[in-house]
Chains A and B, each alone.
Chain A
Amino acid sequence: MSGAGSHIISDAIAWLNDPLNWTGPHGIGALTVEHLGMSAGAVLLGAGFALPLGLWLGHRRRGGQVTVLLSNVSRAMPTLALLTLFASSAIGFGNRAVVIAAAIFAVPPILTNTFTGMLEVDADVLDAARGMGLGPWRMLWRVEVPLALPVIAAGVRTAAVQVVATVPLAALVAGGGLGVIINTGLATQRYGQVLAGGVLVAVLSMSVEGILAGAQRLVTPRFMTAGRTARQPVAALPAT
């Protein structure tokens, strides 16, 4: 098939240039919106669980083993396993199941980074705040969270990129999003379309990564960027 490489590339370009592939209920536009909607839902769901838990564990300064265990298990757990397990259970398949599965994979990076960010807050700063008479709540919101914010943001960014990269697998279990283009192409052996779909998914992931990297920079105070290399996302891995 490798000899047909150039003809597949021209097929892919032709497919991308066909306006009919961009519009309509199954066009690139609608699928991208669906993809981003599912991703946003998954990140919100995951963050809704992981942020409070991470803040609580970090504030109490314990529970490190739990976060490490969670991120290790999630590394070993294939998304496809979770999706097919869901499909065979009461959760079922389709977009809702995919959002739940992606949300589960969004938890470890957010949890780990929130916890680590809170732990990294200088003990002297906490001591000074306590000396100034700050109670636990004001300590959390006025001191710990602002100082941990860049690391927390890095965790949310990792999770979001991972989710955007996970959602394409939805197409395998009758869900939507841009993965549909790849899956339909493979099923009908239109490899130009497969290639075009792969490029679209990759471009979307990279754009989300780029936009979130900018957002993360915005929430990071300038004085904290010096030690930036130490603050890279803890649990970056490819979507499985």
Chain B
Amino acid sequence: MTSDSSLAIELIDIWKRFPGVIANAGATLSVKKGTIHAVLGENGAGKSTLMNILSGVYRPDEGQVRINGNQHWFHSPSDALTSGIGMVHQEFRLVPSFTVAENVVLGASEKIIRRSLIEKEVEQIAQQFGLAIDPTRPVWQLSMGERQRVEILKTLWRKAQILILDEPTAVLTPAEADELGNVLRRMAEDGRTVVFISHKLHEVTAFCDEATVLRGGKTVASSLKVEEVNESDLAGLMVGSSPVISERPPHQEPGEAMLTIEELGTLDDRFLPAVKNLDLTVKSGEIVGIAGVSGNGQREMAQAIAGLRPITSGKITISGKDLTNAPPSERFTAGLGYVPEDRLGIGLAPRLTVIENAILRCYRNLRKSIFLVSEQAVNYCKEIIDRFGVRTGPIDDPIAGLSGGNLQRLLVGRELSGNPKVVLAAQPTRGLDVQGVKAIQDLLIAERAEGVAVLLISEDLDELLTLSDRLLVMHEGEIVKEFDPTTAHRHEIGAAMAGKRDES
């Protein structure tokens, strides 16, 4: 069977089921050669699964994959690569101690490789597409944007004609994202086909030719010409109804200082200074937002406040109590609720059950006899589930079966159930669907109304502008500027995120 020869990719009626989840329910996608094609959809819409099928990571339960009109059945990503399909994943797959060129050739079938030759080749490809990078530098020295270029170079060096990028701009600054757009345009002009997964609408309209929208595992709009649609049309297709976003909470006068941080200093995982002399106060009944490009010390600051990272200097006080050297559990008891950025690595234990995760912070207090699970613990767990709307099976089941949104509800619910005085929320809505985002944001707003001091670290500027009473911008481990979110201009915030300081 032959089909339209102008199409590089055709995915026809793809079904993929996982236990308890249908990730793709008859999804289709057709992409013309030499174009940049956006695949849009919310988290859980089935974008990543569909792309993993296209790149050979998963095999579809039903459906056809056609590349340049020929039906294919890939067994592995390298199989797909042989057919000219390369994928740049969200999490980079690079060896930090290897150089750029070494990473590019890693896994190549050639047995004998000449370093200088590879370095020249990589340099040449990089120049051809405008990817500024030095092939001899080790990867650990590179920024996230540069690492992404290495991933792209890996596929180009293997002569991929079809490039899939899974949410490539999530790790980039706005300027880097624009630059990536230019690179992708050059590749399309060179005759390559680019599939661009995103949920950032302005990027789609800025540098894609066509867009396919997925919802609930199905294709709801295929190959829309980007010139003919606007961002709100696309948003409407993605969510199926008008987008629900939390409203700005009414103004309220903040109370006394609940969280005080003075001259905080801490190191990152490479033992380099990550936070330098940071002063911060969050008062009762206010939400203080921390904006910044990721990797500017936000993660380290949060971990230091929570007691998970040793500090090199400074003082941490919660409602007047000095907790500078207190262990994490004592901080929880003193009224600090912490929603870590790394949900399954720190916040939850994936192999344990729902109830075992629910009581993680307070099992010592809930226990009456030698038994871990008391009636009190069961009630406590059920209360979290009811109050925070966690959709789950039996509480004795492992949490591995819960969706991302429900995991986060369980985690946030647990941290809020102790009636905290201070809530430290790091990327609390990242990766959640619209309902999940709204639920978590509403919880934070409710805590503020109760007089809780909320420190919100987020990469989503809209979220920060909506929720915060004060917005602080962090750059290279320091607070560089404070904004009033009701009057701040986005470009000013952007400039501060890039390191522009207050003139004073």
A and B: partners? Answer: no
Q: Which residues of B contact A (CB under 8 A)?
A: none
